[in-house]
Amino acid sequence: MPELPEVETICRGIAPLIVGLNIAEIIVREPRLRVLIPAGLSASLQGRTVLAVSRRAKYLLIHFSGDCTLLIHLGMSGTLRFLAEPLPFECHDHAEIIFNQGGRLRFRDPRRFGAILLAYGDPLTHPALAGLGPEPLSDEFTAEYLYLRSRKKTVTIKFFLMEQKTVVGVGNIYVSEALHAAGIAPWRQAGKISRRRYALLVKEVRAVLLRAIAAGGTTLRDFQGATGKPGYFSQELLAYGRAGEPCRKCGGEIQSMRIGGRSSFYCAVCQS
């Protein structure tokens, strides 16, 4: 689920609501996520103040006083909602942060592929974040970087772009969109793509992510922002999920195939 635009949407949504609040208690109803929620989390964070909320890759970072940071990953099906008032727990509501000033942050994740981690000191050195590639919206993400890094790689361009050590935040939806916009077939070998095409790809990755952020993310089924609103970027998708429908650029038919075990969507006319 949440790829970069969705996590960014949640980040921007909750930041103004929780910065400055301090923690009364954290309720953990089901610690068994992809990794176990740390034992004693509530005691560790009780009384600490939220200093800032940021995002790195697909992780949401909540920075607390006392130099510690909560890292939240939403996996495939996770949502994080701010509730002004208490609401009865439902199935799959695994954790909730309750603030002294009122208000609470509820973590729901039916498939439990998400994670809640605690980092002391610089969170970027936490094992989950160390070793990640550059942010796609940063200056480090350039055509030259992709070109040099991809030399001699035989993996598909689709897989290469989705690897978080290449560049972070691009998942199965946005990789289809960016490759479609750049006119590159998803099965092309990463190591055989020219500088010129990488330049176009970098531009299109940035463009699609920015447009998706502006739309509040993509809601296919259950994604929602911090206040429960869906994202509207699904209306703008040009390739993902459109197999059999006409390409909006050339009128050809959008195809689907499986690459690396994941479904991929492309236009055989526009992409090669």
Residues that bind DNA (CB under 7 A): 1-3, 6, 32, 34, 57-58, 73, 75-77, 91-92, 110-113, 128, 152-156, 159, 162, 164, 171-173, 217-223, 260-263
* 2 annotated active-site: yes
* 3 annotated active-site: yes
Token output for 165? 């050590």
How much is the CA Rg of the chain, to the nearest whole Å?
20
Nearest distance from C-beta of residue 43 to DNA, angstroms: 25
Please identify, using beta-carbon distances, which residue of 92 and 206 lies nearer to DNA. 92
Token output for 207? 């463009």
Candidates 188, 206, 249, 262; catalytic one? 262
Per DSSP bridges, beta strands 59-64 and 68-73 are antiparallel
Candidates 55, 58, 81, 197; catalytic one? 58
Q: What distance in Å separates the CA atoms of residue 226 and residue 201, rounded to the nearest whole number?
A: 31
- CA 101, distance to chain mean position in Å, is 29
Nearest distance from C-beta of residue 75 to DNA, angstroms: 5
The residue among 158, 114, 113 whose CA lies nearest residue 263 is: 158
Nearest distance from C-beta of residue 237 to DNA, angstroms: 11
The three-state secondary structure class of 13 is helix
Please identify, using beta-carbon distances, which residue of 172 and 271 lies nearer to DNA. 172
Per DSSP bridges, beta strands 254-259 and 59-64 are unpaired
Please identify, using beta-carbon distances, which residue of 104 and 114 lies nearer to DNA. 114
Q: Give the contacts of 113 (CB within 8 A, at least 6 positions apart).
A: 33, 34, 75, 76, 77, 78
* 177 annotated active-site: no
Nearest distance from C-beta of residue 227 to DNA, angstroms: 16
Burial class (CB in 10 A: 0-12, 13-18, 19+), 140: exposed
Q: What distance in Å separates the CA atoms of residue 195 and residue 143, rounded to the nearest whole number?
A: 6
Please identify, using beta-carbon distances, which residue of 36 and 87 lies nearer to DNA. 36
The three-state secondary structure class of 59 is strand
Please identify, using beta-carbon distances, which residue of 14 and 57 lies nearer to DNA. 57
Nearest distance from C-beta of residue 22 to DNA, angstroms: 29
* 262 annotated active-site: yes
Catalytic residue list:
2-3, 58, 262
